[in-house]
């Protein structure tokens, strides 16, 4: 090896000094010194488990170099404002808990040794866990069309794919057939495109490519006409991931430190200049515009880079927002749960290996990875902002209290709207307790006096917000603390109701009834016997004896709410396979399914849209039980859809409805 000239050494040192000076200016000298030390450490990896490979093969591959106690499940945050789905999916990611110095955290992936050729898929993918967090926040669901715009080498595409075809999992596949999902993974560089295609073939069931569900594309995303070259074209994708090419400063730093040890040059550090960042930002902005053009109304986009520079992160998002007209401004999604993993920035989140979560002893080892979540919300009837307050039962509180609750919710929503609100054109107020004409008229008067005076004002019970208004008869089932089933005709007029009798006389299939059944089961077991359910409930409410439980249930106000709070323990244990918890969930799900069936006698089931609302019906295990019971009872509806919030359903319904006046 030829000796390195003194001039070259000076040139590299000058570049390294400029690199440090630049980021000390961006992060502050003290923070940069600590962050640089963390970045200099070997990159920390997690293992994404491939659900399409048999779990026995996955275990064998991972345990080849370490015991099972060396691994821990990486708990992913829930996606902000997740879309409800009746089809359970899973993304599993492992981290090492006790890696020795110099020891690699995970063995390399290997093909499963399965007699079935379609199952000889690689067992896991080693990647930075921050990448999995970003992909999780995209909220991919079965039935979605997904575009991964800069996909090579394929780790994020493989992560997204884990949620698209749960009925093809090698172990415990979903009993419900997934609706047709599509994944289009794009990479313009020829060599990287070939590597991407090879990796997807190694990890995903071959029939997905054979049937055109997974497709590898080679399109230049910076081209103004790129969006028209994608198979689904403009506004064709439910979800778009843009992990844009970037400066990748951690790679530059590692190359430089390695060159210092070996006495060689690092071309990556020699080539680095602040102007390179600005040049890449132009490319990233062009890609972001293409990604946005490919997104459906109501769709979600994530813009991500592994850059440390604000120029490639928040400033790119800011430049993009400046190009979008005010009526079509995207909404930036936020989530408190991400603070455990990332620093919050102006428009998104930045995972850095010196980030320390509140209360944590050690910093997170992940990153760098910046990501921003963008959601279309505009005049097309999509959600622009959301505010929550309450409780707000009109019948159970004073007029002043009720107005204050509604004002609080409206205020919280208005704070999120990225444009000025002029006059309100149409307002729909749905609130519990607005069941009689007298109460509706009182509420209308209060709204016009204290809140809004729009040309069109609708006042209804909160359950009516879930009625789909799609020209078909519909049944709305709500199971939260209580339960009720409502039937509507094709014009959205209430036809009848079942249940809703309150916790003393009814509420079958509710969280209250499920919690009550669990407490009964605990109290009726012999004193010498314990169950996982008893242990879980004891952890929740710190109760251990029968007297404790009885006192907790019957002493003080809000007994109904306290009993209902036990329900999540029961559904959680049912998900884990506990037979007692499963039997309790199944029994209450049957009660609710029977009420839904009884409410459909006024029309043919195949003509009816069913909507499921309330906190208990957003639990995937309880949802699935209700739907399974309806199937066993012989009901095949036009559609069954879980709705996470009545406001979202009402917005979509009213946007397509005629602009009626006050009612």
> 432: annotated binding-site residue?
no
d(CA 530, CA 375): 47
392 touches 431 (CB < 8 A)? yes
Long-range pairs for 625-628: beta carbons < 8 A, 24 or more residues apart: 625/585, 625/586, 625/589, 625/590, 625/593, 626/477, 626/509, 626/589, 626/592, 626/593, 626/596, 627/86, 627/176, 627/593, 628/175, 628/589
Q: How far is CA 219 from CA 186, 188, 224, 231, 376, in A?
A: 7, 5, 11, 11, 24
Q: Please check whether residue 23 is in contact with residue 308, taking contact to mean a CB–CB distance below 8 angstroms.
A: yes
Is 470 known as a binding-site position? no
Phi/psi-derived region of residue 174, left when phi > 0, alpha when psi is between -120 and 50, beta in every other case: beta
Q: How many CB atoms lie within 10 A of CB 248?
A: 18
Structure tokens at 132: 């999995």
Collect all residues with Cβ–Cβ distance below 8 Å to 584 and sequence separation of at least 6: 514, 517, 518, 521, 570, 574
Helices (H), 145-266: 155-161, 190-203, 206-210, 249-262
Is 220 annotated for ligand binding?
A: yes
Is 306 part of the annotated catalytic residue set?
yes
End-to-end CA distance of the chain: 86
Query: Considering only CA atoms, which of 87, 65, 262 is closest in space to residue 620?
Result: 87
* Tokens 């020795």, located at residue: 100
Q: Which of 94, 238, 55, 232 is nearest to 160 (CA)?
A: 238
Residue 560 annotated as binding?
no
Distances (CA, A) of 170 to 53, 61, 125, 387, 564: 6, 16, 16, 41, 36
Give the span between the Cα atoms of 342 and 334, in whole angstroms. Answer: 12
Phi, psi (degrees; rounded to nearest 5) at 175: -75, -15
User: Which of 38, 137, 213, 306 is labelled catalytic?
Assistant: 306
Q: Answer yes or no: is 243 a known binding residue.
A: yes
349-351 and 369-375 as β-strands: parallel, antiparallel, unpaired? antiparallel
Say if CB 639 and CB 610 are below 8 A apart. yes
Q: Give the C-alpha separation, 292 to 277, whole Å.
A: 22
238 annotated as ligand-binding: no
Residues in the chain: 663
Q: How far is it, in rounded angstroms, from Cα 350 to Cα 368?
A: 7
The answer to whether the annotation marks 156 as part of a ligand binding site is yes
**381: alpha, beta or left? (left if phi > 0; alpha if psi -120 to 50):** left
- Residue linked to tokens 């309330």: 614
Q: Residue 171 and residue 167: Cα distance in Å, rounded?
A: 10
Q: SS3 letters for 238-286?
A: EEEEEECCCCCHHHHHHHHHHHHHHCCCCHHHHHCCHHHHHHHHHHHHH
547 is in an annotated binding site: no
Interatomic CA distance for residues 184 and 138, integer angstroms? 15
Distance in angstroms (rounded) separating the CA atoms of residues 607 and 487? 13
Residue 391, preceding peptide bond in cis (omega within 30° of 0): yes
Q: Cα(457)–Cα(445) distance, rounded to whole angstroms?
A: 11
Q: Binding residue per annotation — 150? A: yes
Binding residues: 150-156, 187, 220, 243
The residues that are catalytic are 306
Residue set of the binding site for S-adenosyl-L-methionine: 150-156, 187, 220, 243
């Amino acid at each position: 090896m030829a000796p390195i000239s003194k001039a070259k050494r000076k040139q590299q040192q000058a570049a390294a000094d400029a690199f440090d000076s630049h980021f000390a200016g961006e992060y502050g000298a003290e923070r940069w010194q600590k962050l640089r030390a963390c970045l200099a450490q070997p990159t920390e990896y997690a293992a994404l488990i491939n659900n399409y490979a048999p779990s026995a093969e996955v275990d064998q591959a991972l345990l080849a170099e370490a015991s099972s106690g060396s691994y821990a499940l990486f708990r992913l945050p829930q996606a902000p404002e997740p879309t409800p789905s009746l089809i359970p999916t899973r993304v599993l990611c492992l981290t090492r808990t006790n890696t020795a110095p110099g020891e690699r955290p995970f063995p390399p992936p290997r093909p499963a040794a399965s007699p079935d050729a379609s199952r000889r898929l690689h067992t896991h993918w080693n990647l930075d866990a921050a990448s999995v967090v970003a992909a999780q926040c995209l909220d991919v669901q079965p039935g979605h069309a997904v575009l991964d715009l800069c996909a090579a080498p394929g780790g994020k595409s493989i992560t997204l794919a884990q949620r698209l075809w749960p009925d093809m999992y090698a172990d415990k596949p979903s009993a419900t057939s997934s609706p047709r999902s599509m994944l289009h993974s794009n990479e313009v560089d020829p060599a990287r495109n070939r590597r991407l295609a090879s990796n997807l073939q190694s990890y995903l069931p071959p029939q997905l490519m054979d049937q055109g569900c997974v497709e590898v594309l080679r399109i230049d995303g910076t081209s103004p006409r790129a969006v028209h070259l994608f198979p689904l074209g403009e506004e064709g994708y439910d979800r778009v991931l843009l992990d844009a090419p970037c400066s990748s400063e951690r790679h530059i730093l590692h190359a430089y430190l390695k060159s210092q040890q070996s006495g060689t040059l690092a071309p990556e550090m020699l080539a680095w200049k602040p102007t390179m960042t600005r040049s890449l930002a132009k490319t990233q902005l062009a890609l972001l515009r293409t990604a946005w053009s490919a997104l459906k109304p109501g769709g979600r986009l994530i813009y991500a880079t592994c850059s440390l520079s604000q120029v490639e992160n928040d400033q790119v998002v800011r430049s993009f927002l400046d190009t979008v007209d005010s009526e079509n401004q995207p909404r930036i999604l936020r989530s408190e749960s991400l603070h455990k993993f990332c620093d919050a920035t102006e428009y998104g989140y930045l995972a850095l290996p010196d980030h320390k979560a509140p209360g944590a002893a050690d910093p997170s080892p992940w990153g760098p990875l910046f990501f921003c979540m963008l959601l279309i919300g505009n005049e097309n009837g999509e959600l622009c902002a959301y505010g929550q307050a309450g409780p707000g039962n009109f019948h159970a509180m004073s007029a002043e209290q009720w107005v204050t609750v509604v004002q609080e919710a409206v205020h919280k929503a208005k704070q999120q709207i990225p444009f000025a609100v002029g006059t309100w054109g149409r307002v729909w107020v749905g609130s519990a307790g607005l069941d009689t004409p007298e109460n509706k008229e009182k509420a209308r008067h209060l709204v016009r006096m204290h809140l809004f005076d729009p040309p069109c004002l609708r006042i209804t019970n909160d359950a009516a917000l879930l009625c789909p208004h799609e020209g078909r008869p519909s049944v709305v089932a709500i199971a939260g603390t209580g339960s009720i089933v409502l039937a509507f005709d094709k014009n959205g007029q209430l036809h009848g109701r079942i249940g809703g009798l309150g916790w003393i006389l009814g509420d079958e299939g509710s969280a209250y009834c499920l919690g009550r059944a669990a407490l009964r089961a605990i109290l009726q077991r012999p004193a010498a016997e314990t169950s996982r359910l008893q242990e879980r409930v004891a952890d929740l409410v710190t109760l251990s004896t029968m007297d404790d439980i009885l006192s907790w249930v019957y002493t003080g106000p809000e007994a109904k709410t306290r009993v209902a709070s036990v329900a999540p323990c029961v559904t959680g244990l049912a998900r884990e396979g506990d037979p007692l918890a499963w039997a309790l969930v199944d029994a209450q799900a049957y009660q609710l399914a029977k009420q839904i069936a009884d409410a459909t006698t006024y029309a043919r089931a195949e003509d009816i849209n069913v909507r499921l609302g309330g906190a208990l019906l957003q639990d995937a295990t309880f949802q699935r039980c209700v739907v399974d019971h309806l199937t066993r009872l012989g009901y095949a509806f036009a559609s069954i859809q879980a709705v996470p919030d009545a406001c979202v359903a009402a917005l979509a319904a009213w946007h397509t409805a005629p602009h009626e006046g006050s009612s």
